[in-house]
């Protein structure tokens, strides 16, 4: 029997909020859990494992996302144990693609023990998405008004994917048991470099958008402005993420593409399609 009552931990985030909508559209009871979940949600801090365990009783399945920070691994392992003690039979965890190969990035390394905990038991699936198209939204004014694509992705290339496709894959895993007991890579259909990102935006806008180069410092300054309250750990994490990505990219193999299409039941969206939708909502 497919799980019908699903707890969505991180249900207000860019994946979780989309997942809640998909689950409800398929007839499941989807309950978001977050610090400020809104009407019908559960306001619980995932670091409070006793409260999480109590709140999780009666749910068939759960999506697990973990908060960015040095304690992410410990929080995720404890949350996984709490869900299993509560009797949740299906746990889907959102990690990242190439997490072991790129573990020099702090927020990649912190996900490794959570991945192991989720897979060390029946009914666990780890979804491993590449970079998100939605990262572009942090730099939208610079792109559409300044004519600059400022994120120093580099030239090795990433295989970015839409958050909506990640949510769709999560829904399939939660309701249809897709990818059970596996780590499933999620990647977009094409390799994207910094100049590629800029070229796609330029074509959609009908005017020049340049990639100014691989200097990380301006990007870090923009991140501090876009996300107030970033601490030293987070800033170092973003710095290393860009440095590692410039060095090795975030590659995807033919097998990764096949696994993505299999769990989605279709091909993933393209970056150009994402841009078209963004510009419909935010005319430039």
128 Cβ contact partners less than 8 Å away, ≥ 6 residues apart: 95, 96, 97, 98, 99, 183, 184, 185, 186
**Radius of gyration for the alpha carbons in the chain, expressed in angstroms and rounded:** 19
pTM of this structure: 0.95
pLDDT given at position 138: 87
* Residue 254 pLDDT grade (very low, low, confident, very high; cuts 50, 70, 90): very high
| Residue 1 clears pLDDT 50, i.e. is over it | no
pLDDT given at position 186: 98
pLDDT given at position 39: 85
| Residue 3 clears pLDDT 70, i.e. is over it | no
Angle at 179 between CA 124 and CA 113, to 5 degrees: 40
Q: Does residue 217 come out as left (phi exceeding 0), alpha (psi in the -120 to 50 range) or beta?
A: alpha
pLDDT given at position 258: 98
pLDDT given at position 60: 95
Q: Tens of pLDDT along 131-149?
A: 999 999 989 999 999 999 9
pLDDT given at position 222: 80
Residue 245 to residue 155: CA distance in whole angstroms: 9
What is the mean predicted confidence (pLDDT) over 172-193?
95
For each of the domains in the chain, give its residue range(s) and CATH number, in order of start. 5-129+162-187+252-269 (3.40.50.720)
Residue 117 to residue 190: CA distance in whole angstroms: 31
Stretch among 152-166, 208-222, 256-270 having the lowest mean pLDDT: 208-222
Please choose, from the candidates 250, 261, 274, 253, the residue with its C-alpha nearest in 3D space to the C-alpha of residue 98.
Answer: 250
Residue 166 to residue 182: CA distance in whole angstroms: 16
Q: Tens of pLDDT along 64-118?
A: 999 999 999 999 999 999 999 999 999 999 999 999 999 999 999 999 999 999 9
Residue 82 to residue 48: CA distance in whole angstroms: 10
State the average pLDDT for the chain.
95
- Return the DSSP state at 108: H
| Residue 2 clears pLDDT 80, i.e. is over it | no
pLDDT given at position 229: 81
125 Cβ contact partners less than 8 Å away, ≥ 6 residues apart: 90, 91, 92, 93, 118, 173, 178, 179, 180, 181, 182, 183, 184
- 168 neighbors 21 (Cβ within 8 angstroms): no
Please choose, from the candidates 129, 91, 132, 126, the residue with its C-alpha nearest in 3D space to the C-alpha of residue 112.
Answer: 126
């Amino acid at each position: 029997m497919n799980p019908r009552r699903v707890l969505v931990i991180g249900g207000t985030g860019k994946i979780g909020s989309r997942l809640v909508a998909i689950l409800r559209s398929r007839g499941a009871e989807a309950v978001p859990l977050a610090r400020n979940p809104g009407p019908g949600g559960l306001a619980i801090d995932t670091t409070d494992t006793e409260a999480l365990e109590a709140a999780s009783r009666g749910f068939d399945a759960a999506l697990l996302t973990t908060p960015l920070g040095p304690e992410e691994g410990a929080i995720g392992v404890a949350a996984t144990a709490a869900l299993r003690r509560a009797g949740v039979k299906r746990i889907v965890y959102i990690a990242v693609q190439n997490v072991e190969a790129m573990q020099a990035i702090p927020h990649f390394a912190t996900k490794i023990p959570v991945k192991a905990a989720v897979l060390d038991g029946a009914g666990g699936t780890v979804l491993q998405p590449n970079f998100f198209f939605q990262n572009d939204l942090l730099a939208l004014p610079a792109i559409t008004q300044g004519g600059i694509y400022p994120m120093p992705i580099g030239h090795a290339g990433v295989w970015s994917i839409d958050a909506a496709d990640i949510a769709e894959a999560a829904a399939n895993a939660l309701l249809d048991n897709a990818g059970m007991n596996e780590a499933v890579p999620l990647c977009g259909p094409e390799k994207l470099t910094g100049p590629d990102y800029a070229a796609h935006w330029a074509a959609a806008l009908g005017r020049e958008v340049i990639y100014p180069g691989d200097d990380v410092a301006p990007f870090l300054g923009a991140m501090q402005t876009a996300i107030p309250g970033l601490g030293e750990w987070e800033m170092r994490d973003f710095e290393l993420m860009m440095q590692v990505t410039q060095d090795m990219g975030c590659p995807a193999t033919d097998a990764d593409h096949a696994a993505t299409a299999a769990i989605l039941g279709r091909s993933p969206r393209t970056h150009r399609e994402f841009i078209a939708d963004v510009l419909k909502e935010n005319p430039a």
